[in-house]
Amino acid sequence: MMKYEIKKTFRAKEVIVWLILFPIIMGTLYKFTLGNIFSGNQFSAVRLAVVQNTDDGMFRNIMDNMEKTDPPYVKLTYCSSEEEALSLLYKNDVTGVVVIDPAPETGEKKEDAFDLDTVDTQAILDQYLSTGTVNAFDDQGANDFLTKYLDGDENGYVKDYLANFTGGEFFPKTHITLKLRKNGMDETMAKKMVMMYINMQNQVREMMDFTHMTAESGDMISKAMNGQDNIVEPLQLTTGNTDPFSSYMYNLIAMVAIFGSLVGVGIAQTHQADMSPEGARRSCSSLPKSISILACFFSYCISMAICVSICITFLTLVLGVDFGSRLPLVYLSGICGGIMGVAMGFFLGCVGKMSPGARSGFVMALNMTLCFLSGYIVMGIKGILEHNAPIVNDLNPAAIICDSFYYLNMDAGLERFIGQLLKMGIYTAIFVILGFILTRRKKYASL
Amino acid sequence: MENTVVKIENLVKNYAELRALDHLNLEIKEKEVFGLLGPNGSGKTTTISCLLSLLSYDEGNIELFGKPMTPVSYDLKARIGIIPQNVAVFDVLNVYENVDNFCAMYISDKAKRKKYVDEAIEFVGLNDFTKFRPKKLSGGLLRRLNIACGIAHKPDLIILDEPTVAVDPQSRNKILEGIVELNKQGATIIYTTHYMEEVEQICSRIMIMDRGKKIAEGTTDELKKTIKNTETIYAEMADPGHVILQKMKHLPNVMDAVWSDGKLAVSCAGGKQNILDVMSIVRDEGLSFGRVYSELPTLNDVFLTITGKELRDKNERQEETPVRKK
C-alpha cells in the first residue's frame, strides 16, 4: 500500500510542480539573476598604469606585494611617461593612471632619525634575522623601534623594503595623482587603494618623527603597513556563511519543505468518508483507519524526503551552491521541515469541510502567508515581526524551518539548530495527534 | 434455512429537519439479489451508508452476518465489497494499480492478491486496459473499474449503489450480467437503483422506498400482484374526445382511459379480451389509428399506484451525463 501512496505522490501534478519543478526553476532563476549580484566577493584585479617621476620604494613595494596575492588585488603596468600611461587609459587597457611626483618643497626639512644613507640596511636586516633584535643605532629607542617594526612585519613588506633599499629617505615624501576616465566599481577600488596608501604614508611619517619614536610606534607602523591596525576594529558577528545568495537558497529549500503540506492534505482527504469517494471506500475496508493513516503519513514523509533531497542536490551539484561543510545537516533540516509540512497538511486537511479544490487553495494561500511572514518572499518581514510580535514567529512553522537554516548558516555551534529541529519534532507530533483526533470520528453526520 | 445477511430494524436518520429514513425495516437472506428501488432522494444511499457504519443514525439497529455492525467491525467489513455511487478510484494510478491498491486493504498476501486482482480485472473485462489511467477510460469502463475495485477481495456481501448511472446500454448489460454471475458464485447482492427494468432483470427480491420509508417489498411478481392493473392497452391515434374516453371507461375490466401525446392508454384489471373491446369502440366510432399494443404492468405502475407519482422522470436517463464526484 505504501508503494502506491509514494507512486501517487510523484504522479500528482501539484507535487511535481510545487515540490520538484518550482525549486528547480526558482533556484535556476536565482542563480542567473542574483548569483552575479552577490559575486562581489570574487574580486577582479584593478589594472593600473604607474608613472614614477620620482622613486617611491614603499609604494612600489606595497603595490608589488598586492599584485602577488592570490587573487591579485592590482595589476600594474609601469610606464616611462605619462603620455604612454594615458594612451593605455584611453584604450581601456587600464582603469587608472598613478603618477608619482616629488612632493613640493615646503622649505622646512624635518630631521629624520632614519636617514638610512648612513647605514647598511641589508646588514640591519641580517642582524635582525640572526639575533631577533636590531642594534645598529646609538639611540636605543631607534633600535627598539626597528625591532618592533620588523617583529610586526607579517607580510614581509618591511623586510623586502630593507633588502631592496637603494638609498635615500626611508619614507620619501611624494605627491601621488590618480587619473581616471569614468566612474565604476574598478575606479572606486583604485581610488580606495591610492587613498589608503597616501593615508598610511602620512600616518607613518608622522609616527616616524624622531621625537616621538618609541618601540610602540614601530609596532603600530608595522601593523599599519600590514593593514592590521584599523582605527575601527571590525566586530566579528558570525563565523558562518554570510553570503546572501546562500541565504536565498536556504529560503527556497525551506519553502519546498513547508509545501509538504500540499501532500499532507491528501491523507485527510483520502481517509474521510465525507471528503471523497475514495475516503468512503477506505472507511469501509477491513484495514483500521489508524494503520492506514500512519502508512499514508510515512509514505508521504518518504516522498517529501525525496523531494527535498532532489532540491538540495540540484542546488548543490547543478547550480553549484556552496552550503559549506554542513551539507548533511542541510539535508536533515530540510527533511525534518518536509515532514513537519506533511503533518501540517494532514491537520489542515481535517479542519472543516470543503471541496478538495477549495482546500488545496486554502492550504496554498496559508503556505504563502506563512512563507511571507517568515521572510521567504520579502526579506526583512521576519525581523520586523521578531521586534514587534515575536509570538508570530514562534508559532509560524515556516519560521521554524527558516530559523533552522539561519542558525545552521550563521552559528558556529549547533545548539540553536538542534533546538529548531526539536521544535519541528514537537510541531509534527502536535499536528499528527490533532489530525488523528479529528479523523477518528467513526461515523459522519452527512456524506 | 438460509442465513440472514443483513438485518435492519427501525432505522431512523434525520438530516436537521428532514427525516431521511423513517423507521426502516429490512432483512436480506444469503445469496439473494436484493433490489433497493426508489426515486432520487428516497433514502437508498443513506440506507447503504448507515449499513456500512459510515453515517450515524438516530434510532434503530443494524446487524450484518448476525453481528452488530459498528465502525470497528473489521471482521464484518472484510466480508463486504462496496461499489459506491460516485466512482472511487485514484486518477494517478492505472487500472491494475487501482484494483491492487484497494485489494491490498483486505488481502496482504501478495501472490493471492495478484491472483484476485487478475481475476477481478478479467471479470469486468478490463484486461486490455490494465495500463490505462481512469481519465482515459469511457464512462462504462470507469464504472467497471469501480466494480473491480469493490469485488477483487471476493466479498460475501456486495453492495452496489447505482452502478449503472450514466452508462451506455452495452456496458450496462455487461455490468448486470456480471452481478448475476457474482451471485451465482455465492455472493449476496444489494443493488440500489432507480431503474426499475434493471431491478426486474436481476433482483430476486425488491424493496421499494420513498421518502425514507419502505412502501412495498417482495418479488417482482408479488409486487405486481399488489396492484389491480394487469394490462395497459396503447393505441396511437388522434384525440378521441371526452365522450369516447368515457365509453371506454365503462367497458368491463377497464379502470381508466386517458389520451396524451398522440397515444390512447387504457388500463385494465383482469379480463382476457380487453384489446378487442377497446378496438371495437374505435371501429364503431370510425376513428383511424396507428400502432396498437398491450403492456403488462411494470414496477413503475406499482410505484405509481402506491405513491401516485412516477418512479423517475421519463427523460432522466437520456439527460444524465457521467459525473465523477471527487
pLDDT tens-place string over residues A85-96: 888 888 888 988
> Domains in chain A: how many in total?
2
Cis peptide, bond prior to residue A234, ω within 30 of zero: no
A4/B104 touch (CB, cutoff 8 Å), yes or no: yes
For range A240-244, the mean pLDDT: 59
The winner for highest mean pLDDT among A84-88, B111-115, B172-176 is B111-115
> What average pLDDT score do residues A146-167 get?
73
**Cα–Cα distance, A372 to A34 (Å, whole number):** 19
- The last residue of one of the domains, among A200, A225, A250, is A225
Based on the domain organization, do A121 and A14 belong to the same domain? no
d(CA B178, CA A260): 42
B101 CB neighbours in chain A (<8 A) are 1, 4
The answer to whether the predicted template modeling score (pTM) of the entire model surpasses 0.80 is no
One-letter amino acid at A111 equals E
How is chain B split into domains, by residue range?
4-225, 231-296
Interchain pair B325, A444: CB under 8 A: no
Pairing of strands B157-161, B59-64: unpaired
Number of residues in chain B = 326
Contact B61, B4 (CB under 8 A): no
**Contact criterion met (CB below 8 Å) for A165 and A153:** no
Facing residue for B105 by CB, picked from A11, A276, A287 = A287
- Helix, strand, or coil (residue B104): coil
Show Cβ contacts of residue B1 under 8 Å, excluding neighbours closer than 6 positions: none
Report the distance separating Cα B149 and Cα B89, nearest Å: 8
Based on the domain organization, do A30 and A49 belong to the same domain? no
Q: Taking residues B41-68, report their average pLDDT.
A: 93
- Cβ-based contacts under 8 A for chains A and B: 87
Nearest CA-CA distance, residue B257 and chain A, Å: 44
Stretch A183-202: mean pLDDT, rounded?
A: 80
Domain shared by A31 and A134, yes or no: no
Judgement on whether residues A341 and A381 belong to the same structural domain of the protein: yes
CB spacing of B78 vs A7 below 8 angstroms:
no
Q: Is residue A259 part of a domain?
A: yes
How many H helices and E strands in chain A? 20, 4
Which residue of A286, A303, A354, A355 is the best one to mutate when testing the B interface, meaning the one whose CB has the most B CBs within 10 A? Answer: A286
Which of A261-270, A383-392, B315-324 is least confident?
B315-324
B136's grid cell: 482515459
Q: Does A283 touch chain B (CB under 8 A)?
A: yes
What percent of chain B stands above pLDDT 90? 66
DSSP-H helix ranges across chain B? 44-51, 74-77, 95-103, 110-124, 139-151, 169-184, 196-202, 220-225, 242-249, 274-284, 299-307, 316-319
> A225, A259, A280: which is the final residue of a domain?
A225
Q: What are phi and psi of A215, to 5 degrees?
A: -65, -35
Q: Which domain holds residue A360?
A: 2-37+240-439
Q: Which residues of A touch B53 (CB under 8 A)?
A: 442-443
Q: Is the pLDDT of residue B268 over 80?
A: yes
Using the Cβ of A1 and the Cβ atoms of chain B, whether some distance falls under 8 Å is answered with yes
- B117/chain A closest Cα distance in angstroms: 14
Partner residues linked to B36 by β-bridges: B192, B207
Convert the pLDDT of each residue in A335-381 to its tens digit. Answer: 999 999 999 999 999 988 888 888 989 999 999 999 888 887 777 78
Question: Does A154 share its domain with A192?
Answer: yes
Common-topology check for domains B4-225 and B231-296 = no
With a CB cutoff of 8 Å and minimum separation 6, the contacts of A122 are A162, A163, A165
What is the C-alpha separation between A200 and A345, in angstroms, rounded? 62
From the candidate CATH numbers 3.30.70.100, 3.40.50.300, 3.90.1150.10, 3.40.228.10, the one assigned to the domain spanning B231-296: 3.30.70.100
Asked if residues B34 and B296 have their Cβ atoms less than 8 Å apart, the reply is no
CA–CA gap between residue A241 and residue A325 (Å, rounded): 11
Q: Which segments of A46-184 does DSSP mark as H helices, in order?
A: 57-68, 82-90, 121-131, 140-151, 157-164
A118 shares a domain with A160: yes
| pLDDT at residue B264 tops 70 | yes
Q: What is the pLDDT, as a whole number, of residue A114?
A: 55
Rounded Cα gap, residues A169 and A102, in angstroms: 12
Question: CB distance from A287 to chain B under 8 Å?
Answer: yes
Domain boundary among A169, A196, A225: A225
Average predicted confidence (pLDDT) for chain A: 81
Contacts of B90 in chain A (CB under 8 A): 4, 8, 278
What's the pLDDT score for residue B298? Answer: 81
- Is A41 a residue whose pLDDT tops 60? no
What residues are paired with B236 via a beta bridge?
Answer: B263
pLDDT score recorded for residue A1:
73
Contacts of A1 in chain B (CB under 8 A): 101, 104-105
Residue A67 lies in a domain: yes
pLDDT at B320 over 80: no
pLDDT, position A62: 77
CATH number of this structure's domain B4-225: 3.40.50.300
Per-residue model confidence (pLDDT) at position B137: 93
Position B323 scores a pLDDT of: 40
